[in-house]
């Protein structure tokens, strides 16, 4: 259920815009402006303790009622956003360059990348929390 709470839009440059007593749908309907030409990285929900990765396509589908709130959560929900602090080597992919965006879900880091799916065990020595 999409409840009214405090929502914080976090942008790549660290800018944060706070919206008090909003639902996610209300926030999307208000169409927040990009900052320095960038969409947000995440919608932080500090009163709930979780985040939503800001995927503009998925959020637009929710705004248009083409997807449900539960479907939105299944796709975008995460416990934090991180960047890898070193080059990572994987079994399927040669290298993942430093500074890529990852979502923390269920004790695992999930790479944010439309072209490849990479999951690795959470390791604070290789990742830096950004939200």
Reading the chain (131 residues) residue by residue, the pLDDT tens digits are 999 999 999 999 999 999 999 999 999 999 888 999 999 999 999 999 889 999 999 999 999 999 999 999 999 999 999 999 999 988 766 789 999 999 999 999 999 998 888 999 888 899 999 99
- Strand locations in the chain (E): 5-10, 16-22, 42-45, 50-53, 77-78, 80-84, 101-105, 108-111, 119-121, 127-129
Cα 79-77-38 angle, rounded to 5 deg: 95
- Determine the straight-line distance between the first and last CA of the chain, rounded to whole angstroms: 23
Query: What are the boundaries of each domain within the chain?
Result: 5-78, 80-129
| pLDDT the model gives residue 13 | 92
DSSP state of 5: E
Of the candidates 81, 63, 56, which has an alpha carbon nearest to the alpha carbon of residue 131?
81
> What sign does the CA torsion over 101, 10, 67, 50 have?
positive
What residue has token string 């960038």? 38
Q: Write out the two tokens for 92.
A: 């399927």
């Amino acid at each position: 259920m999409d409840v009214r709470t405090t929502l914080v839009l976090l942008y790549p440059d660290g800018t944060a815009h706070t919206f008090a007593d909003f639902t996610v749908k209300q926030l999307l309907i208000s169409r927040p402006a990009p900052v320095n030409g960038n969409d947000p990285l995440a919608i932080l929900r500090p009163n709930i303790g979780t985040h939503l990765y800001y995927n503009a396509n998925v959020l637009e589908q929710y705004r248009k009622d083409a997807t449900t709130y539960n479907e939105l959560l299944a796709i975008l929900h995460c416990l934090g956003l991180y960047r890898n602090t070193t080059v990572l080597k994987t079994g399927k992919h040669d290298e993942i360059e430093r500074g890529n965006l990852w979502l923390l879900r269920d004790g695992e880091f999930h790479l944010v990348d439309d072209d490849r799916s990479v999951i690795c065990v959470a390791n604070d020595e290789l990742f830096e929390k950004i939200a």
